Amino acid sequence: MFSTQKFLSSLAKRQFKRLLYYPSAGNRHGFVTDFNADVIVFSDFRPKSLRTRRSFWRQFRQGAQHEIRLIVATPIARVFQIDRRKWGVFLFMDNNEAVRLIHKSGLRISTFIGVCDGCAEGGNYECVNEMPFFGKILDLMPETGMNYITDHSPYVLDGWERPRNVDNSFVLKNNGYKTSLMNDSVPGFRNRAYEFTIKKQYMMNEVKDPVPHPR
Ligand SMILES: C[S@@+](CC[C@H](N)C(=O)[O-])C[C@H]1O[C@@H](n2cnc3c(N)ncnc32)[C@H](O)[C@@H]1O
């Protein structure tokens, strides 16, 4: 039987290294399949039945600007090719389950989208841009660093959609992460979205008093 996790593991062992992950993706962001990555993973737990998953997927696919070839449909996922060169996976599950699956696959997250995740309205019980969830994403960041697109964040924005002086971002900074603002209006999203790069600046043994991620 097809296993989504084994499939992702097989990609991790091949040349498909750059993973983009968008949790709480909804079905209106098919355009994200255009973004620069080798593998693009989405998760959303909204459609619960096989029938609602079918129509959710149809809507999602309509938003894609490029050729989407459905390769495998399982009760919990759609695996597809984008323009015959990138892979996409839509996971109909809780974001935490999706992160576990990515972790087990051995892939690292080189782009993370934390936009309109339902933490204010939309049924999310935690914010994807805050610890503990965001800490799990940072743990999966490759050595080369991560692109981070967000519309709200207590660490790199001043709440919703307002940039903050990133030097004040003590939780990230004290743990050795350096953030830089790259783009202050990423097109396509309903809310104003910002793109940052996050890099691990130095090894943890050089940090005097690291503030642990509150988990
Ligand atoms: C407000 S909607 C926004 C969807 C999309 N990000 C957008 O901007 O159009 C929030 C979505 O997050 C999903 N969601 C909320 N909490 C989730 C969780 N813990 N795991 C998976 N999906 C979640 C909801 O099902 C809903 O589709």
**Which ligand 1 atom is nearest residue 46's CA?**
25
State how far the Cα of 118 lies from the Cα of 124, in Å rounded to an integer: 5
The pTM is what?
A: 0.92
**Band (15; pLDDT cuts 50, 70, 90):** confident
Question: What is the reported pLDDT for 198?
Answer: 95
Pocket flag, ligand 1, residue 52 (CB < 6 Å): no
CB 146 within 8 A of CB 111: yes
CA distances from 143 to 62, 128, 146 (A): 35, 21, 9
List the domains of the chain with CATH numbers: 4-206 (3.40.50)
Question: What is the reported pLDDT for 158?
Answer: 80
Pocket flag, ligand 1, residue 26 (CB < 6 Å): yes
Residue 204 has pLDDT above 50, yes or no: no
Pocket flag, ligand 1, residue 24 (CB < 6 Å): yes
For the stretch 173-193, pLDDT in tens is 878 899 999 999 999 999 999
Pocket flag, ligand 1, residue 27 (CB < 6 Å): no
Q: Which residues pair with 19 in a beta bridge?
A: 39, 109
Pocket flag, ligand 1, residue 97 (CB < 6 Å): no
Higher pLDDT, 205 or 57: 57
- CA count, 13 A, side-chain hemisphere, 150: 28
